[in-house]
Amino acid sequence: MKIELNENKIFFNNGQSVQEIHPFWLRERVDGDQYLDKGTQQRLFDPSTMNGEIDIKKAEIKNGFLEVNFNDGVNSKIDIGKLETEFSNKDTVIKLIPKKKWDSALQNVKNFEFKEGFNESKEMYDLLVSFYEYGFVIIKNVPTENNYIVKFANSIGSVRRTNFGEHFNVKSKTNPNDLAYTTLNLSPHTDNPYRNPVPCIQLLHCIENEVSGGYSTLVDGYTVTENLKKEDPEAYKILTEIKVRFKFIDKSVVLEDWSELIRLDNEKNFKQVRFSPRLDYVPMLEKNKLDRYYKARKKLSDLYNSEKNIIEFKLAPKDLIMMDNYRILHGRTKYDPKEGNRFLQGCYIDFDSTEGKLRHLKRKFKI
């Protein structure tokens, strides 16, 4: 990438094409104490109120800076390196971390060890990169006293409070309002598909686990749906098109949201899976279409529940697992409460927490 001048016009050359930079685009980026707050990098002027007829009277390139005199009397030195980072139009931090597909053969994923000052450490940066690669990460030795999970979540970003509270306790109870609070096997699912927006990341912290069952299970929804796309494009297509209703009811709230089981972004790439087959209701559609939908959902369910795709492991006290609720399905094998206690605490955070922390640590450690 190169900035070039030709008379009072400024161009950028990416090696393949040359494009003129709009003078107003540069005017919005003027630097200097009068125009930009150094700490926040927020403008001290409002370009949306300005007349768009901005021209460049004079431009020069000197020592990595573009020196521009605009026709409204403003002169500025703009860092060319900084300008060039804006030409890609893409998120250059999070989206550039490649997702690693995994199935039951997954091995050697690094666990992290909690210690004092962990949230500001280079280890935390590595942890977040690993989280974006695999969709989950396990942290050992996280203190368990006084609902420490909330403190841990808030050290990355901010807890996403829901009607279950700031955090929730996963223990078997009498009269549960969710199957999570029983001792039954829980097949792979994503959490809270009925919320708008769905909580992005779930944290689960093991406080006690004295039973012989109660294994945690995980499935990579990204791997499964990408494989389905190749193996059965028709099934994949219908699951990316039909929106179904997810609903949660208890005595104080009625939550409802609609979504495809496989949600794609504007470029038709993976964005989110929701799967919670005790809560999903497909609308009344043409019989043929529903035939295809039910077959496709059965296929997806078989894949999510296949031994080929599930990893199973036992959480020990002080282990904390953080998982991407838009990508990873989680579950649990059944257990016998007569054998002892099994007690987990959970809470949610959203992607702004992990993204904000990751960008901050990247800046801090100049990575």
Residues that bind Fe ion (CB under 5 A): 191
Q: Burial level of 307, CB count in 10 A (0-12/13-18/19+)?
A: exposed
Please report how close the Cβ of residue 41 comes to Fe ion at its closest, in angstroms: 39
Please report how close the Cβ of residue 109 comes to Fe ion at its closest, in angstroms: 20
Q: Which residues of 330-345 are buried (b: 16+ CB within 10 A; e: fewer)?
A: bbbbebeeeeeebbbb
Give whichever of 124 and 329 is closer to Fe ion, judged by the CB atom. 329
C-alpha span between 126 and 131 (Å, rounded): 9
Please report how close the Cβ of residue 140 comes to Fe ion at its closest, in angstroms: 21
Please report how close the Cβ of residue 180 comes to Fe ion at its closest, in angstroms: 5
Give whichever of 224 and 279 is closer to Fe ion, judged by the CB atom. 279
Give whichever of 10 and 137 is closer to Fe ion, judged by the CB atom. 137
Please report how close the Cβ of residue 330 comes to Fe ion at its closest, in angstroms: 6
Give whichever of 189 and 297 is closer to Fe ion, judged by the CB atom. 189
Strand partners of residue 259: 244
Residue in the shown chain whose Cβ atom is closest to Fe ion: 191
Give whichever of 191 and 350 is closer to Fe ion, judged by the CB atom. 191
Q: Report whether the peptide linkage leading into residue 197 is cis, meaning its omega lies within 30 degrees of zero.
A: yes
Radius of gyration over every alpha carbon of the chain, rounded to an integer in angstroms: 25
Q: Burial level of 145, CB count in 10 A (0-12/13-18/19+)?
A: exposed
Please report how close the Cβ of residue 306 comes to Fe ion at its closest, in angstroms: 19
Q: Alpha carbon of 95 to those of 7, 76, 243: distances in Å?
A: 38, 32, 26
Please count the other Cβ atoms lying within 10 Å of the Cβ belonging to residue 191.
22
Q: Alpha carbon of 293 to those of 145, 194, 247, 261, 290: distances in Å?
A: 47, 20, 19, 11, 5
Give whichever of 191 and 319 is closer to Fe ion, judged by the CB atom. 191
Give whichever of 191 and 220 is closer to Fe ion, judged by the CB atom. 191
Please report how close the Cβ of residue 297 comes to Fe ion at its closest, in angstroms: 19
- Measured in residues, the chain has a length of 367
Give whichever of 191 and 257 is closer to Fe ion, judged by the CB atom. 191
Please report how close the Cβ of residue 189 comes to Fe ion at its closest, in angstroms: 6
Q: Write out the two tokens for 318.
A: 């002080």
Side-chain half-sphere CA neighbours of 221 within 13 A: 27
Give the N- to C-terminal CA distance of the chain in Å, as an integer.
Answer: 21
